[in-house]
Homo-oligomer: A and B are copies of this chain.
Amino acid sequence: MEHVLIEPNPPRPERADAARNRMRILEAAARLFAERDPNQVTMDEIARAAGVGRGTLYRRYPDRAAIAAALLDEHERAIQEELLRGAPPLGPGAPPADRLAAFYGAMVKLLEQHAHLVLGTEVGRSRFVTGAYGFWRIHVRTLLVAAQVPDPDRLLDILLAPISPDVYLQQRVNLNYSPERITGALSYLARQITAAPTVEPEP
């Protein structure tokens, strides 16, 4: 007996018109998201801007968040690649404190360009279930372990909280802080958190 088929559902290649429409949708959505608060952009608008029917849009993307996630995907992948195999201090080789600071720097750069999009991906509590969030989490964990921070797990979500899109926009837009200033603050946080503990942990 021979297993010719291993994949449970052999994925048919995408049809030509489907691919064309997918591109149209992504382009139209990118444009709309850029010029306005993504959460105010309606699915209908995106469909019309893409020259596509509602049904077509919903076929692939169940909501705005899915579209924003698709648009964000490549940028996030690029950073993930650099974290794993790029040059220090972002990639391996530098001390944990420097790498953590560099990670924050990369996230600020990402947010500076695409904060709208990241905000657009947030539907309810969705941020934490994204694949990307899990990746950042693991990365930070590795760095904290390397820095010998006690009980690193409890700190992960706390350290990722400041790079949520709304906190970033609060600092950037409402308070008019420069990206450099925010990066500086996060570097400070990175160094202080990876420094030797000031008090002994409970016995």
> Using a CB–CB distance below 8 Å, which chain A residues touch chain B?
39, 97, 124-125, 127-128, 150-151, 154-155, 157-158, 161-162, 164, 166-167, 169-171, 174-175, 177, 181-182, 184-186, 188-189, 191-193, 195, 197-199
Q: Which residues of B contact A186 (CB under 8 A)?
A: 158
CB pair A154–B167 under 8 Å, yes or no, is: no
Tell me the complex Cα distance, A181–B153, Å.
10
Residues of B within 8 A of A189 (CB): 155, 158, 193
- Chain B contacts of A128 at CB under 8 A? 166, 170, 174
Known pairs A151-B185, A164-B167 / 15 extra A-B pairs, C-beta < 8 Å = A127-B166, A128-B174, A154-B185, A154-B188, A155-B189, A157-B167, A157-B175, A158-B162, A158-B185, A161-B161, A164-B164, A191-B197, A192-B192, A195-B195, A195-B198
**CA gap between A170 and B177 in the complex, in Å:** 28
Q: Report whether A161 and B154 are in contact in the complex, using a CB–CB cutoff of 8 Å.
A: no
A166 contacts across to B, CB distance below 8 A: 125, 127-128
17 pairs of residues in contact across A and B, judged by CB atoms under 8 Å:
A97-B198, A125-B169, A127-B166, A128-B174, A151-B185, A154-B181, A154-B184, A154-B188, A155-B185, A155-B188, A158-B189, A164-B164, A188-B197, A189-B193, A191-B197, A191-B199, A192-B198
